[in-house]
Amino acid sequence: MYQFVQPQTNNPNYTAGQTWGALKKAWRGYKIAKVQSDNPRMTEYAKKIRTLQHDLGIKQAEFPELNLS
């Protein structure tokens, strides 16, 4: 289970809830791009996912098929 934490980003304009919402949307976009075999969009979403996870202070996902780990 995830522990709820405040975002660690230097940009205080986003709440933790907004960051979690953005993470959910990024995962949805990644999954759609993967079904469509759209590697550039998959890479873009994977980078966003990793950044948002870092901002939330949770473990970052690995994307070995995109060489992102």
pLDDT tens digits, one per residue of 15-69? 888 999 999 999 999 999 999 999 999 999 999 999 999 988 899 999 998 988 7
23 in Cβ contact with 52 (< 8 Å): yes
- What pLDDT is attached to residue 44? 96
What is the identity of the amino acid at 47? K
Per-residue tokens: 4: 């709820």
Is pLDDT of 1 > 90?
A: no
Q: Using CA atoms, how far apart are residues 32 and 68, in angstroms rounded to an integer?
A: 18
Q: What is the DSSP letter of 67?
A: T
Q: Using CA atoms, how far apart are residues 17 and 24, in angstroms rounded to an integer?
A: 11
Report yes or no on whether pTM surpasses 0.85. no
